[in-house]
Structure 1
Amino acid sequence: MAGAERQKKPEPETASYRAIFLSDIHLGTKGCKAEYLLDFLRYNETETLYLVGDIVDGWRLKKNWYWPQAHNDVVQKLLRKARKGTSLVYVPGNHDEALRNYTGVHFGGVVVASDYIHETADGKRLLVLHGDAFDGVVKYAKWLALLGDWAYNVMLQVNTWFNLARRTFGFGYWSLSAYLKNKVKNAVQFIDDFETAVAEEARRRKVDGVVCGHIHKAEMRDIGGILYINDGDWVESCTALVEHHDGRLEIIHWAEERDFSMLRLTDEAKDQPRRAAKTAKKELAA
């Protein structure tokens, strides 16, 4: 009954923003929530779209090629927005670090930058960067970061099965991996140190705030007079930072707002070819 009620939930109206910030999509991994992101991009338009690193997971693709149609659809959707006039700024992260060799290059309506200064409608200057430069593990012990990446992907797979079970029983999305991360004392300390270091870089650059990704924890708060914003990710929280046309900034939790309805429709669409094939086989057998 609960599932039926959720299916009747009305479609959202298309929203328009001055800017949208997305990071840590990790296309090329099984943990990527590409269907959620496609749904978000379908109902949210913007003048400028910032891709704040780790959009494609080069680390994972080097080890094991994984590229389903939904991941290709995300790339096509982003490029289509660029063709239709959206300004796309790509700030590479550590998982797509190969693109840092193309800093300053414009291709297909996309500009690649190591970092970027975004000015809001109400005059705030925000430094946009991925943030891995302030992660000591990534910077000084990449082998340890790669080991952690493997463990993290295992946890994300567990998280996927966990949420499939929740969905079966009529519950909404809940990130087990994010919950565990916030409960581990060392992880909490790492996040706090990271946020402080990134805020200090913004202060050094004489800007009003910073927008980053990397640690997969959506957050917006003041740190010593600097506005610290992390736009989250699309493997755990499925969040985005948006700037309204008056300069107001907001973190959107898309998975919570949509409550799996888009995935249910996606699953049904995926099943249609299988059902058609089965029907055809039965007809041939008859």
Structure 2
Amino acid sequence: MELTVVGCSGSVSGPDAAASSYLVRAPFAGGTFALVLDLGPGAMGALYRHLAPEDVGAIALTHLHPDHCLDVCAFYVGARYSPTAPWPRIPLLGPPGTRERLVAAYAVPGEDDPAGRPAGIGAHFAHQDWAPRQQVGPFRIETARVDHPVETYALRVTEDVPEGGSLVYSGDTGPCEALVELATGADLLLAEASFRDVPGNPPGLHLSGRDAAEAAQRAGVAELVLTHVPPWHDRDAVLAEARPHLDAPVSLAEPGASWTIGPR
């Protein structure tokens, strides 16, 4: 399978990158299946650089903070009003309350009945709450709830073929055992690194580059990619703080960068 960075700026969109969004593709049913992990502000436009968005097979949201989900509204606009509309109704996996969050964000009077009879954005997607394990096209997805102020899930995406590669995406999290356990033996860990390695970082919120590297070391991952660095931090400094703590390759996510993920 192939991982491509659509957006990687942390907490807000950045001067050179959209907010969090990642494209995972693999062969499936005679074609290619495209799974989008998170769709933060600016990511819908950036997605056009990599594929026609109507070809997306599923969207997966780690949590419902705006920097990870709000461009689902933009996706819906394309699905309903672009020249290629209507786009297929696709699965949208997320925490409980995802449909209601998007209906509130899009907020078109009369399109979605609060009594539970959606007709607009609430009806367009086939909503699925996260379960411990699920199949999405060619991918097995395992989840672990991680340490963040809202209900948030790290995702382990494995291509469902013999010796298929495995990608773990941290979502947003503070240091926690759940992430280490989910990432154990993964081919690539895509981990947020929102904090600098300084005293006084609030608990239960985000990782530093060092935190991400230490989690990757404990999990025995083959490669670490740092993402979600906000524009107010020096990205190279975050990378430098991580490198001494992992005996494996570590790099920064960049818009358009891609990795082919397979067994070690």
Smaller-chain TM-score bracket: 0.3 to 0.5
Q: Which has the larger radius of gyration?
A: 1
In terms of fraction of residues, the more helix-rich structure is 1
In terms of fraction of residues, the more strand-rich structure is 2
Q: Select the structure with the greater relative contact order (CA < 8 A; seq sep ≥ 6).
A: 1
